[in-house]
Amino acid sequence: MVDVITIGETMIRLCTNNYQTLEQAQYLNFSIGGSESNVAICLSRLGMKVMWISKLTDNSLGRKIFQEIHKHGVDTSNVIWTEEGRVGVYFIEYAAAPRPIKVIYDRKNSAMSTFKPEEVNWECFQNTRLIHLTGITGSLSKNCEELVKRATIEGKKRRKIVSFDLNYRAKLWNIKKAKKHFEDVLPYVDILIATQKDIELVFGIKGKPEDMMEKLREKFNTRIIVLTAGSDGSFAFDGKMYYAKVYPATEIDRIGAGDAFTAGFLYGYLTKNIESGILYGNAMASLKHTIPGDIAYINPQDMIELINKQQERIQR
């Protein structure tokens, strides 16, 4: 029995050092990154039992991804190996203001894009509490759109909690196509996690966070809506409103902070309640900002210590 199963692509991550541009860089930092595996690793490090399902090319790059995820205690027994396709790659050009951080994806025709619903052992869904998916996976191919839709249906059929992080990526698909996919999937989702910006962009829903969440809940009949609003904090709504302030942090690497938030929320929700979820989510996101790389090397003690210190400051 596992607590969470997640499905998605993990890529090789190549990034510049010392704020160099990609054009001037002579060497790049070599690691891995992927939203769903980031969440899986975070949850595993927090003490939960997690399974990550994906499709990897059977070569050195695929094996590096597999080993890096597995070493954090994530169950990788349902990963599909293939000679077809390739391992996706993405490049990050870190920058100091006023230059923006730039991301270049090179993931077309990846092994994950060939992943068909019939290749998944859906019976493993019977042995979990929650299935977590993201809006990134559906952008990769028609196969992946069908895979995500099938995963939500299989989850609901087995009466499992289905969590979905909207995670809209403009570089992977346009708003019209993404919106259609989200509208097909969200009626099967129990927990929707999204940024305020993505909700405005994809669905054209604007206003105060509480109004946005009410409209989303009415539109998709989603049980729980979680909305992150940057420095304004995070909100959750299940008929009742919840709010948590952000924890100030020195930014070293913001990439993966949203995944750390999601992991913190799911951990808090599954072990306690929604209110703990957004509190833990904010703490995890804040800590991730201080850690380079996609993966948040955070332990439960780190998260609790930050929350306790912040509460002490407020009480004084």
Catalytic residues: 259
Residue in the block written with tokens 């929350």? 307
Nearest to 73 by CA among 38, 41, 26: 41
Helix (H, G, I), strand (E, B) or coil at 168: coil
CB neighbour class for 265 (10 Å; exposed up to 12, middle 13-18, buried from 19): buried
Strand stretches in the chain, DSSP E: 2-7, 11-15, 29-33, 50-53, 55-57, 80-82, 89-93, 102-106, 128-134, 161-165, 191-195, 224-228, 234-237, 241-244
Q: Is 59 left (phi over 0), alpha (psi -120 to 50) or beta?
A: beta
For 114-145, b where at least 16 C-beta lie within 10 A, e where not — what string?
A: bbebeebeeebbeebebbbbbbbbbbbbebbb
